[in-house]
């Protein structure tokens, strides 16, 4: 690692040196995770599981090294830290927190439990039998509540879990955010929903052709394939191995091409964040996003605010219709309404941008009650159905389309779901501010010219990495905290 201008405090410099093996092992794990999802032959999974276990133990050992923790104490006690040094101390403290506050035995127990629970969740989903997963889920909730106790919290144990994903975000913040969204979104949803699917959803495509269209589109949007790549996996994701090695995946089912198109734009938004972080933050704990919610705002912005715009439908037509020749039989208006078809349904990952937030609201309410002890796992299917009926007017007929649809809980991930709605809220906020600063932003989208917008996103959000807390970043760049009104206004304008 080369010296740079951002860190001059001797403790900061030593801490970053000490961080290098942690960085290397963490990135090796991410690379191994990417390989597992993309190219690993199926029988490699047993050995890969062992490898991951060993690397996780190694990371835990490195993060609890007394020398490292001592350096961190001394850095935090130092006077006159720069903005970056303060960020370094803050992020390192957060990274070490889970290892220093939660007993290793509890972490080990949780890890073994979730490995088993993931298998049982898969079986339960396939067999549509909640009973297969129920007792594991109950135990996961119990251990997660223990973990929250060790992490510490004020007011509600769920706050400890929210903070793991969205620093400083509380039940109170979430109640306000969802409370402001609930009624206005319900009105928009009722008016915008249409039963009929677009015939475009049934058009089949050649998967090789679709891939060429994606590559041409990404290239046109300025993605540099010497620093970036795209592959396929069962569930799309993004991984940043380094600032010059960022990878996305997508999936192609052979029909309903918007599924693939928008997953590419979504992951492309995540990737752009990673690609535009200040290179001087590379090899430090600051070279990642500010939070899950802020990261998600970048993907939602690219997917929804750019990708689902009329201008994008127009601008992308040339490239898309070259590889998807059936598009020539449809008008721009038909393509635009296919991109923006609103229909309340049971499945979160298939939801449109209006109903999506209700899926998250439901999960938030359920998680809060489970962690707070107001609901038990045996109440869950009924609670789930009631909330779906109340918010989306649909009721699942089986568990697989209901409580068993998401992978999150089987992996012990509680407090993560709200970041999706934070992402939508912040994306709309960014859209508002971007349009004020770049009045011809959408005109340029119709030429697929994102250069100025990307530079703007870089300055406002990306370049900082995790230097600021998410709330500080919002204040610094937009002069306000999370503001749901922009999302309501954007959806109103678009759908009413
Ligand atoms: Mg995402």
Could you tell me the pLDDT band of residue 233, with boundaries at 50, 70 and 90?
Answer: very high
d(C-alpha 278, C-alpha 265), whole Å: 22
pLDDT at position 195, please? 81
Residue the block writes with tokens 């999150």: 408
The most distant pair of C-alpha atoms in the chain lies apart, rounded to whole Å, by: 67
Could you tell me the pLDDT band of residue 3, with boundaries at 50, 70 and 90?
Answer: low
Residue 246's domain spans which residues? 171-495
Query: Is residue 256 assigned to a domain?
Result: yes
Domain boundary among 152, 179, 195: 152
pTM across the whole model: 0.96
Residues with CB under 5 A from ligand 1 (ion): 299
pLDDT at position 50, please? 87
d(C-alpha 441, C-alpha 435), whole Å: 6
Query: Is residue 158 assigned to a domain?
Result: no
Statement: residue 2 has pLDDT above 80: no
Rounded distance from Cα 235 to ligand 1 centre (Å):
11
Could you tell me the pLDDT band of residue 5, with boundaries at 50, 70 and 90?
Answer: confident
Rounded distance from Cα 266 to ligand 1 centre (Å):
7
Residues 410 and 312 in one domain: yes
Query: Is residue 424 assigned to a domain?
Result: yes
Which residues are CB-neighbours of 405 under 8 A, at least 6 positions away?
A: 125, 346, 347, 348, 349
Query: Is residue 482 assigned to a domain?
Result: yes
Q: Are 39 and 33 in contact (CB under 8 A)?
A: no
State whether the Cα torsion 129-135-141-147 is positive or negative: negative
Q: Using one digit for the tens of pLDDT, what is the confidence trace for 42-98?
A: 899 889 888 988 999 999 999 999 999 999 999 999 999 999 999 999 999 999 999
Beta bridge partners of 245: 242
Query: Is residue 165 assigned to a domain?
Result: no
Query: Is residue 27 assigned to a domain?
Result: yes
Residues 121 and 34 in one domain: yes
Domain boundary among 102, 123, 152: 152
Residue 124 falls in which region: left (phi positive, over 0), alpha (psi -120 to 50) or beta: alpha
Residues 97 and 236 in one domain: no
Statement: residue 496 has pLDDT above 80: yes
Distances (CA, A) of 56 to 37, 140, 350: 18, 19, 33
Of 171, 156, 141, 157, whose CA–CA distance to 376 is shortest?
A: 141
Rounded distance from Cα 236 to ligand 1 centre (Å):
9
Could you tell me the pLDDT band of residue 115, with boundaries at 50, 70 and 90?
Answer: confident
Q: What value does the mean pLDDT take over residues 106-129?
A: 92
Structure tokens at 50: 């062992």
Q: Using one digit for the tens of pLDDT, what is the confidence trace for 79-94?
A: 999 999 999 999 999 9
Residues 132 and 191 in one domain: no
Residues 302 and 408 in one domain: yes
Rounded distance from Cα 327 to ligand 1 centre (Å):
28
Rounded distance from Cα 299 to ligand 1 centre (Å):
6
pLDDT at position 313, please? 98
Rounded distance from Cα 297 to ligand 1 centre (Å):
8
Q: Are 88 and 12 in contact (CB under 8 A)?
A: yes
Known catalytic membership, residue 267: yes
Residue 179's Cα: distance from chain center in Å? 22
Statement: residue 197 has pLDDT above 90: no
Classify 136 as helix, strand or coil.
Answer: helix
Q: Using one digit for the tens of pLDDT, what is the confidence trace for 17-31?
A: 999 999 999 999 999
Query: Is residue 161 assigned to a domain?
Result: no
Residues 95 and 216 in one domain: no
Domain harbouring 346, CATH code: 1.10.1370.30
Residues 274 and 302 in one domain: yes
Beta bridge partners of 232: 250
Residue of 167, 267, 303, 472 marked active site: 267
Rounded distance from Cα 300 to ligand 1 centre (Å):
7
Residues 175 and 138 in one domain: no
Residues 362 and 328 in one domain: yes
Rounded distance from Cα 33 to ligand 1 centre (Å):
16
Residues 143 and 217 in one domain: no
Rounded distance from Cα 392 to ligand 1 centre (Å):
22
Query: Is residue 403 assigned to a domain?
Result: yes
Could you tell me the pLDDT band of residue 410, with boundaries at 50, 70 and 90?
Answer: very high
**Percentage of the chain with pLDDT > 70?**
99
Domains in the chain, number = 2
Q: Using one digit for the tens of pLDDT, what is the confidence trace for 422-459?
A: 999 999 999 999 999 999 999 999 999 999 999 999 99
Q: Are 487 and 181 in contact (CB under 8 A)?
A: yes
pLDDT at position 46, please? 85
Domain boundary among 152, 180, 201: 152
What is the DSSP code (8-state) at residue 403?
T
Rounded distance from Cα 329 to ligand 1 centre (Å):
32
Residues 139 and 187 in one domain: no
Residues 44 and 176 in one domain: no
pLDDT, the chain, mean: 96
């Amino acid at each position: 690692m080369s010296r740079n201008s951002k860190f001059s405090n001797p403790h900061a410099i030593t801490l970053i040196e000490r961080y290098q093996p942690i960085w290397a092992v963490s990135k090796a794990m991410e690379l191994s995770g990417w390989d597992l999802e993309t190219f690993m032959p199926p029988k490699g999974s047993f050995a890969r599981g062992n490898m991951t276990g060993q690397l996780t133990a190694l990371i835990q050992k490195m993060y609890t090294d007394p020398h490292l923790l001592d350096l961190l104490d001394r850095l935090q006690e130092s006077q006159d830290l720069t903005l970056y040094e303060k960020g370094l101390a803050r992020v390192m403290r957060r990274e070490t927190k889970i290892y220093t506050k939660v007993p290793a035995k509890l972490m080990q127990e949780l890890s073994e439990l979730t490995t088993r629970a993931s298998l049982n969740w898969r079986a339960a989903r396939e067999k549509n039998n909640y009973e297969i997963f129920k007792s594991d889920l109950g135990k996961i909730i119990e251990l997660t509540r223990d973990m929250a106790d060790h992490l510490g919290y004020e007011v509600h144990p769920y706050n400890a879990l929210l903070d793991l994903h969205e620093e400083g975000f509380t039940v109170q913040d979430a109640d306000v955010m969802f409370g402001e969204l609930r009624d206005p979104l319900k009105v928009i949803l009722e008016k915008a929903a249409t039963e009929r699917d677009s015939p475009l959803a049934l058009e089949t495509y050649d998967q090789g052709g679709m891939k060429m269209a994606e590559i041409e589109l990404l290239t046109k949007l300025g993605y540099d394939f010497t620093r970036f790549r795209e592959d396929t996996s069962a569930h799309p994701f993004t991984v940043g191995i380094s600032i010059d090695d960022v990878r996305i995946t997508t999936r192609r089912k052979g029909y309903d091409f918007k599924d693939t198109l928008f997953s590419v734009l979504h992951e492309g938004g995540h990737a752009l964040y990673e690609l535009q972080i200040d290179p001087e933050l590379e090899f430090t704990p600051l070279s990642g996003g500010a939070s899950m919610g802020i990261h998600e705002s970048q993907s939602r912005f690219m997917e929804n605010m750019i990708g689902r715009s009329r201008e994008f439908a127009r601008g992308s037509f040339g490239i898309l219709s070259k590889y998807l020749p059936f598009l020539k039989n449809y008008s721009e208006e038909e393509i635009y309404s296919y991109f923006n078809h609103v229909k309340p349904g049971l499945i979160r990952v298939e939801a449109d941008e209006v109903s999506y937030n209700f899926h998250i609201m439901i999960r938030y309410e359920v998680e809060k009650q489970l962690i707070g002890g107001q609901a038990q796992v045996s109440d869950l299917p009924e609670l789930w159905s009631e909330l779906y009926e109340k918010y989306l007017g649909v009721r699942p007929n089986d568990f697989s389309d209901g409580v068993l649809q998401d992978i999150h809980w089987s992996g012990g991930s509680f407090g993560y779901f709200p970041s999706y709605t934070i992402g939508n809220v912040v994306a709309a906020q960014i859209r508002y501010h971007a349009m004020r600063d770049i009045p011809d932003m959408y005109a340029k989208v119709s030429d697929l010219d994102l250069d100025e917008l990307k530079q703007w996103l870089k300055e406002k959000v990306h370049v900082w990495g995790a230097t600021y807390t998410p709330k500080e970043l919002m204040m610094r760049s937009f002069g306000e905290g999370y503001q749901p009104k922009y999302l309501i206004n954007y959806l109103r304008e678009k759908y009413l």
